[in-house]
Structure 1
Amino acid sequence: MNRIPWVVIAAAIAVQGEARLGVARAQSPAGEYARTATVTSLTGLRADVTWNPLRVTVREPATGRVVSQLGASGIPALFFESDAGSRAIQGDPIVERTTLNGYRATYALDAGRRAEVELQWTPAETLLVTLRFEPDGEIRRLGAQLPVASDEHFVGLLERTVDNPAADGRPLSAALDLRGQTVSMFVKPTHSLYLPFYLSSAGYGVFVEGTWPGVFDLAASRGNTTAFSFEGPELKFHVIPGPDPAAILGRYVQVAGRPLVPPKWAFLPWRYRDEHVNLPRFYDGTAYSGPYNSQVVEDVLMLQALDIPLGVYWIDRPWAVGHEGYDDFTWDRRRVPNPERMIRWLDDKGIRFLLWLAPWIQGSIVDEAKRRGFLMPDLASQNDHSHVDFTNPGATVWWQDCVRTLVDAGVAGFKLDRGDEEVPGRVDLRTADGRTTREVHNDYPRLYAGAAHQLLTARRPDDFILMARAGYTGSQSLAAFWAGDSSTSEWGLRQAIIAAQRAAVMGFSLWGTDIGGYGMRLDREVLARWIAFGAFTPIMQVGPTENRGLWDMPTEPRYDTELIAIWRLYAKLHTALQNYSVAHALIARETGVPMIRPLFLAFPDDRRAWDTWEEFFYGDDILVGAIWRKGQRAMSVYLPEGDWLDMWNPTRLVSGPITLTVDCPMYKIPIFIRPRAATARAMGDLNALWDDSLKRARAKPDLAGLAAAIH
């Protein structure tokens, strides 16, 4: 292809004629062709380009309204960072036309270096921008900048409230809006969902391809600028026009990947404990010598007797032999006796069984993996956790062969823990596919989930689920996710409420949390509020609850009638919404609009919706108020425009926009729905359900009689 100076680019831009199917028309206004170009997508979206100084302005087709801009006065569009500092891409380029809807501009820089900038509309109607250098030595990062409006909001990028693991579960003022934050795109434990995509209230989104580490500065350093820069030999990112958030997400999932739709049973309530012990007695002193783990049996029999729905049960580590309970994928049959029979027993009750996994191995199989070169480099940094190199196809097949016996025994999926720790992030180490571990670090959770997904697809197609802690681009098509090790405090619950909505916007639509938090003493009131919140997340997972049931609390009342009734109320409600959840999982896959939805997704023109995060939608119809503060017994609820039915007072129809104060005793959170008969019928009479749940909880089950049936 011949290169021509930008001063004679008219012939390359002003091509006339009918646009072909799948290709947009390039245009150039008369008199401006030398320094500018306009590329129009098939639906009329316009990218107006000025080559020097480089600026790109994306406009709506009907109104010409500016949707997004790369660069502005005093804000260079693209830049690079080296040892000498940061420099803008500028000068008079040589411009080539690459397709009818794409261009390449080559800028000559110092020391014989050239910067190439490519602009291309994609079939998804996103503007793909590529920046690369020749030669690329001494370049640390490549970046871009966009001007920011004074009232602009940003949502996405990471699950945790702020990008500081030390702040997890602690008092924070930051909430859903990322404005003013700096986010490092480097997966960190344990709230480990990261994805280089954000959605702006200005009507656009940005998605950066690849897995190299990077940084987003969301008007933190300069209040009028958002900037991002990434390591690696090139920077490729999509400017995604709206005009509204739903349209942005619809285009985003076409280039980043669509969320998973699991089997229907995944939308039933889940239960687990962090550590199972096979005890000779149940919590109440009843002797037990049955064929299965006593705590599994206690949970299942108590929940069944209390009429608390249960569809998924899983066991965490330790479950295998070895000093950490994870050697050689071999059952510890003293801790988990007769596991194959136990799984069949659960299956007969309609309960699917899952098991904990990590991406590292222990036991005698480590020596074989080392000998065959199947482990990640830098083993010295991994202590006793030898991580499998999932970039190596042979290592992946070998690991799958090790795990296959568990699947063939009836395990219906895995909780994929870790993947966010101990994976080296160095440029001097390379994995089997030739990439540096610096580039692989963010991709490792996807590789790990992909290996498990491939195995389960082969052994039990369409009848399994994976639940992962860590994720990056591509992970959303492979698994569901949970919010890591959340604090058991009210601040842990607050973080989970924000994480649910952030994760949803990033495309991790299938999401849940450890209800009640993890790793610290339970807080009775926080647990109650968390159960209510969890009922309106796709995965309602109660556990680990200090490895005890709510009938065996560590504080008085030990048999907690109220908490048991709250669990039953919301587990029943979650189960009643099973078909509703399936329908909205399909919507999420097809449209990108997630199951959990911040208010602004439904009401993008309502400025208050962008500031509201303690309320969210579950699907199209259900608006939920999430209470997280201890001692709170009323909530101020904002209802956007439209008619709303109060599910605690179903004769009450409220017209918005309006703000109401709703009484919220410990068992109750605000629940409003759009007045649609099918949703109201599915949810039923909540007051009657609460009364019945209290009645059932007060009748303490007789474990001795229940256990006799399984001998």
Structure 2
Amino acid sequence: MRTILLLVVSITFVIQSYSQTSQVITGFEKDKNRVTISLDDGSKMRLKFLDGENIKFWFSPDGLFERNNASFAVINESFDQDYSIEVNQSSTNLEVFTEKLRVIIYKDPFKIQIFNKYQRLLFGDVDLQPYWIDGTLVKTTKKLRDDEHFLGLGEKTGDLDRRGKSFIMWNSDKPCYSEIEDPLYKSIPFFMSNYNYGLFLDNTFKTKFDFGKEVKNELSFSAPAGAFIYYFFYGSDYKEIIKSYTRLTGQPIMPPKWALGWSQSRGMLTNENLTREIATEYRKRGIPCDIIYQDIGWVEGLQNFNWRNDRYDNPREMLSDLNKQGFKVIVSQDPVISQETKAQWQEAHDKGYLVLDDRTELAYDMPWPWGGNAGVVDFTKPEVADWWGNLQQKTLEDGIKGFWTDMGEPAWSNEESTDRLHMKHYLGMHEEIHNVYGLTWDKVVTEQFEKHNPNQRVFQMTRAAYSGLQRYTFGWSGDSGNGEDVTDGWENLANQIPLGLSAGMGLIPFWTTDISGYCGDITSYEEFAELYVRWLQFGVFNPLSRAHHEGNNAVEPWLFGEKAEHLAKQAIELKYQLIPYLYTYAREAYETGIPILRALPIEFPKDEKAIEINDQFFFGEKLLVAPVVQENVSSRKVYLPKGIWVDFNNPTKTYKGPVTLDYRVSLETIPMFVEEGAIIPKMPVMNYIDEVENPAMIVEIFPSETKESSFVLYEDDGTSNNYKKDEFSKTKIHLGKKNENYTIKVDRPIEQNFYSIKRNYVFQIHLVNKPKNVLINKLKLKKVDLKTLETSQNTNFDLSGYHYDKEHQLLCIKTPDTKLAITIEINK
């Protein structure tokens, strides 16, 4: 009897809970492209249709639709300014039909479901209490399908697939973070589902995401305060979803072309003599390098932008000399003014440029890792921008080429640092500003750079950021590596691959890991050499490749022994060869937001195995890379999706996918594959980008027996912002086959206020058999010895000819780039 009574009480409680928490629609209003729904508890939900595929949701507990600040991330909601909806009402629901979607809004209890036009459920609320309110906190819960998987949330650790995990958005300084640690430095509350939708939660507070960890078949996300706004993006694949997110939050800026070269750094690289020595060694050893970084010790006092006169004899002369050698120097910034930098701290304090303590209304006293306690610069205050811009311009006029904005969480402000919540910024309390603090700083740095240096392309690389960072800055993954035992950092290296791929899907296409890992003392360069080489072999495929390590732990390639130096040089040279290919995809990233480092599902969204692959990626669209991330192995598993794949290192070998290979490797090996038909533009190896005045455009081609293919080469001046005005050259290169003969067509370039340099084309075509003859524009080419072709590729613009290398099964064709259409016929 007692058991029955308890059961009745329990059932009664559930019924009461349902009736108390489930919301019911009491009315709605439609205005052009939006519908506002009133609920019986006084809350309201507003749906704004940006077009037929993208919808803004705003749930307001008090029904007022007010927010403290305009969005820090969203800059464009005008997807279709003339878009209008019709709301169909029945006794049980409201319905909105678009060209691609069917949105059903149920009245009692209130919930929303979104279907595609074929009635497949894409995204839907749970039946009971889809929106839960607790004071200022709002949480929404959605149904999760058994076969649903998720990508995204930016720079997060762990597997690419977020299913079964939960994450927090709270920018955190996490040195030597593990492969499962969360949160990290950046907050990108944007993710995508294999059910063809993406979602961006536009809330800067400490938001949380749960992808079925707490409740297996429920997706939930919440915010403790602030406007509860999220955007739903529909797309036929991940690329379409990323394009919509890019349209909403802005295009990624392109870095200067030289920024895609190799970079050298270390924590104590903070003096003139050492900087000059490193530059000399790079040039003496013939290892390409474009950038040398100076860490925070370069500055006299945080952050007055004055060089330390005990470490730099003549900074301007140093920078001028390095520039003549092809080196650009990047210096670090911190977002604080040390109390020990008395004059500047007093100036910032008196002008009200520092974040306040809400308990005292005085400048917040921030402990800082170096330089003593400091004041935090309030970049949300408009007057700060010009002041900071004038300060940073001093070093730009000295000759530096850009900045890396470090410690912008701000440092030592992690979840446990609750005292930081007393920080009062111009635009709000720290709980709201924390995640966007780095973003507001990066915005000032870039806008001030462009104000003082008109039409120059900014270089700025940041650690802490929020959605929208791509409009101002680039990224690196912070302090990775094993601080306890630097030689045991293999898992840390392996984790950088999915972390970097996820960063790219969060609109950080220009990204790097700290090559070698930041953490750990190097006590034996011999013992660390293998891990260094493997980290570098992954790092050369980072769009921004920077070797960096903590303290005075040097990580220049020649320190790890002759073999490691040789392999490092080989890998860095490969990166330089691929610069034209990489730069083309840099432009695509600018136009579309599609990353350069691409997780396999980006290119093969229907391949169910692709989302399980965490240790390989596409570099651009054509190159599949599978770095070795395990110690002392002779083989590694490589998954090849559907298609015919050519071994880039040995083009005589092909594989039919889908297939998992047991691929043989040595320390020299970077497993790389291209699909048959791939066209890869390259350049000659040089010490730094643009060192050679008229470098040949080398085009490597992997012919297909069954399909045609093409590549559109992108070029611009590489340094100005004219790319934003569409001043560029695009050249389409096409490969076809007819009657056993191959035809290569190079279209006349589309040139818009930019003209490519005088040069030669060098075509490298992988052919099993020697051709019978080669014709260019119907004229037969002469055979030329290989040495003549190679030595004349950058200088002789009159010589045309071809050579077939039987041993390597490679046909090499050289011809001047006349800026006219070229047709090459290769007859077997």
TM normalised by structure 2 equals 0.67
Q: Do the aligned partners of residues 9 and 518 (structure 1) sit closer, same or farther apart at CA in structure 2, a change above 3 Å counting?
A: closer
Give how far 1:551 is off.
6.0
What is the CA–CA distance in structure 2 between the aligned matches of 1:454 and 1:258, rounded to whole Å? 15
1:446 is matched with: 439
Max Rg structure: 2
What is the CA–CA distance in structure 2 between the aligned matches of 1:603 and 1:241, rounded to whole Å? 18
Structure 1 range deviating more: 630-639 or 221-230: 630-639
- Alignment RMSD, CA only? 2.8
CA contact (8 A) 1:60 1:243 kept: no
1:25 to 76, 82, 85: 85
Residue identity (%): 25
Deviation by residue 1:671-703 (Cα, 9 ceiling, x = unmatched): 011234531765979xx9xxxxxxxxxxxxxxx
1:232 is matched with: 225
Give, as a single letter, the amino acid of the residue that structure 2 aligns with 1:184.
I
Give how far 1:536 is off.
1.1
Deviation by residue 1:410-438 (Cα, 9 ceiling, x = unmatched): 211101101112458766543123x1111
Give how far 1:454 is off.
1.2
What is the CA–CA distance in structure 2 between the aligned matches of 1:195 and 1:505, rounded to whole Å? 10
2:312 to 336, 343, 356: 336
Matches of residues 311-390 of structure 1 in structure 2 within 5 Å?
311-322=290-301, 326=302, 328-362=304-338, 363-364=341-342, 365-378=344-357, 379-382=364-367, 384-390=373-379
2:257 is matched with: 264
Q: SS at the partner of 2:186?
A: strand
Give how far 1:327 is off.
5.4
Give, as a single letter, the amino acid of the residue that structure 2 aligns with 1:346.
L
1:531 to 509, 523, 536: 536
2:148 is matched with: 152
Q: SS at the partner of 1:331?
A: coil
Matches of residues 456-605 of structure 1 in structure 2 within 5 Å?
456-460=449-453, 461-487=455-481, 488=486, 489-522=489-522, 523-544=528-549, 547-550=553-556, 553=559, 560-605=561-606
CA contact (8 A) 1:67 1:242 kept: no
Q: Where does the alignment leave 5 or more consecutive residues of structure 2 unmatched? A: 1-23, 35-51, 53-79, 175-183, 358-363, 523-527, 683-697, 701-763, 765-785, 787-828
Deviation by residue 1:384-443 (Cα, 9 ceiling, x = unmatched): 13210001111222122222111111211101101112458766543123x111101011
Give how far 1:597 is off.
0.7
Q: Do the aligned partners of residues 519 and 563 (structure 1) sit closer, same or farther apart at CA in structure 2, a change above 3 Å counting?
A: same
Q: Do the aligned partners of residues 335 and 263 (structure 1) sit closer, same or farther apart at CA in structure 2, a change above 3 Å counting?
A: same
Q: Where does the alignment leave 5 or more consecutive residues of structure 1 unmatched? A: 83-138, 162-173, 279-292, 689-711
2:138 is matched with: 142
Give how far 1:219 is off.
0.6
Deviation by residue 1:366-393 (Cα, 9 ceiling, x = unmatched): 1111122111123234351321000111
Deviation by residue 1:139-184 (Cα, 9 ceiling, x = unmatched): 13112111111232222224231xxxxxxxxxxxx42222222211
2:108 is matched with: 52
Q: SS at the partner of 1:607?
A: coil
2:45 is matched with: none
What is the CA–CA distance in structure 2 between the aligned matches of 1:9 and 1:390, rounded to whole Å? 41
Structure 1 range deviating more: 540-549 or 195-204: 540-549
Q: SS at the partner of 2:153?
A: strand
Whether 1:39 aligns to 2:96 is yes
Give how far 1:321 is off.
2.3
Give how far 1:483 is off.
0.6
Structure 1 range deviating more: 306-315 or 149-158: 149-158
CA contact (8 A) 1:258 1:592 kept: yes
CA contact (8 A) 1:417 1:470 kept: yes
What is the CA–CA distance in structure 2 between the aligned matches of 1:499 and 1:297, rounded to whole Å? 34
What is the CA–CA distance in structure 1 between the aligned matches of 2:25 and 2:156, rounded to whole Å? 46
Q: SS at the partner of 1:297?
A: helix
CA contact (8 A) 2:331 2:400 kept: yes
Matches of residues 649-660 of structure 1 in structure 2 within 5 Å?
649-660=650-661
Q: Do the aligned partners of residues 414 and 54 (structure 1) sit closer, same or farther apart at CA in structure 2, a change above 3 Å counting?
A: same
CA contact (8 A) 2:406 2:463 kept: yes
CA contact (8 A) 2:132 2:140 kept: yes
Give, as a single letter, the amino acid of the residue that structure 2 aligns with 1:544.
H
Q: SS at the partner of 1:337?
A: coil
Q: Do the aligned partners of residues 12 and 307 (structure 1) sit closer, same or farther apart at CA in structure 2, a change above 3 Å counting?
A: closer
Q: Do the aligned partners of residues 483 and 21 (structure 1) sit closer, same or farther apart at CA in structure 2, a change above 3 Å counting?
A: closer
CA contact (8 A) 1:6 1:35 kept: no
Q: Do the aligned partners of residues 675 and 351 (structure 1) sit closer, same or farther apart at CA in structure 2, a change above 3 Å counting?
A: farther
Q: Do the aligned partners of residues 530 and 549 (structure 1) sit closer, same or farther apart at CA in structure 2, a change above 3 Å counting?
A: closer
1:212 is matched with: 205
Give how far 1:591 is off.
1.9
2:389 is matched with: 400
2:161 is matched with: 177
1:73 is matched with: 127
CA contact (8 A) 2:97 2:103 kept: yes
Deviation by residue 1:461-505 (Cα, 9 ceiling, x = unmatched): 333310101111121221111110111411221221121011011
Whether 1:276 aligns to 2:269 is yes
Q: SS at the partner of 1:382?
A: coil
Q: SS at the partner of 1:391?
A: coil
2:172 is matched with: 188
CA contact (8 A) 1:79 1:144 kept: yes
Structure 1 range deviating more: 416-425 or 445-454: 416-425
Q: Greater RCO between the two (CA within 8 Å, min separation 6)?
A: 1
Q: Do the aligned partners of residues 338 and 225 (structure 1) sit closer, same or farther apart at CA in structure 2, a change above 3 Å counting?
A: same
Give, as a single letter, the amino acid of the residue that structure 2 aligns with 1:515.
I
Give, as a single letter, the amino acid of the residue that structure 2 aligns with 1:200.
S
CA contact (8 A) 2:303 2:335 kept: no
Structure 1 range deviating more: 203-212 or 538-547: 538-547
Give how far 1:349 is off.
2.2
Count residues with an aligned counterpart: 582
What is the CA–CA distance in structure 2 between the aligned matches of 1:7 and 1:214, rounded to whole Å? 29
Give how far 1:55 is off.
2.0
What is the CA–CA distance in structure 2 between the aligned matches of 1:312 and 1:209, rounded to whole Å? 36
Structure 1 range deviating more: 256-265 or 602-611: 256-265
What is the CA–CA distance in structure 1 between the aligned matches of 2:631 and 2:147, rounded to whole Å? 32
Give, as a single letter, the amino acid of the residue that structure 1 aligns with 2:405.
L
Whether 1:626 aligns to 2:620 is no
Whether 1:294 aligns to 2:273 is yes
Q: Do the aligned partners of residues 13 and 376 (structure 1) sit closer, same or farther apart at CA in structure 2, a change above 3 Å counting?
A: closer
Give how far 1:458 is off.
1.9
CA contact (8 A) 2:407 2:464 kept: yes
TM normalised by structure 1 equals 0.77
What is the CA–CA distance in structure 2 between the aligned matches of 1:452 and 1:10, rounded to whole Å? 43
Deviation by residue 1:636-692 (Cα, 9 ceiling, x = unmatched): 11100112111111122222111112111112121011234531765979xx9xxxx
